[in-house]
Amino acid sequence: MSVAQTHHGRFLGSRTPAPSGDARWKLVAATMRRHGYRADALIEVLHAVQGAFGFLDDDGLRFVAASLRVPYSRVYGVATFYQHFTLRPPGKHTCVVCMGTTCYIKGAQGLVEAVQDRLGVKPGQTTKDGRVSLLEARCIGSCGLAPAVVLDGAMHGKIKAEDLVGKVEEWMKHDS
């Protein structure tokens, strides 16, 4: 990649040791290498960390900061600016309710409340046993299928509150 070489004299490569021997750090390191350890690749690299570990922890942020030579506070500022990044480990299962306009006028709020009542957690929280995270999305762009939810990565359209709660209850029941 050569795009920003001209604007960023720093093409130093990095020798910052990974936080642990976890093989997933190699994936992160590969992303950094592909981007020439450029500071402007910060968001791409944070995506790589979250993709590998499911969330961003302090060790990861320090590793990325040191490798890309970006100040800690800037890394933290970027990581907390974007809604996609999370600093807390997600639950084993995730229930994302789309809160886009179309879903909203077709009753997404009711979906959130139903799950909230069942799990006792607010959007953005994970059940105490770490089993389920309830999340809200701004809009997943599946407005034709409103109201829509994403359960463990799979989209479900035109869903009813009782069906959604049913699916969430399965997660709570089974040791899957």
Which residues of this protein are in contact with another protein, per CB under 8 A? 1-4, 6-7, 38-44, 46-47, 58, 61-62, 70-78, 80-85, 99-102, 104-106, 137-146, 148, 154-157
Min dist. Cβ of residue 92 to another protein (A): 21
Q: Which is nearer to another protein, 129 or 144 (CB)?
A: 144
Min dist. Cβ of residue 1 to another protein (A): 7
Min dist. Cβ of residue 171 to another protein (A): 19
Amino acid at 119: L
Q: Which is nearer to another protein, 74 or 172 (CB)?
A: 74
Q: How many CB atoms lie within 10 A of CB 51?
A: 12
Min dist. Cβ of residue 115 to another protein (A): 19
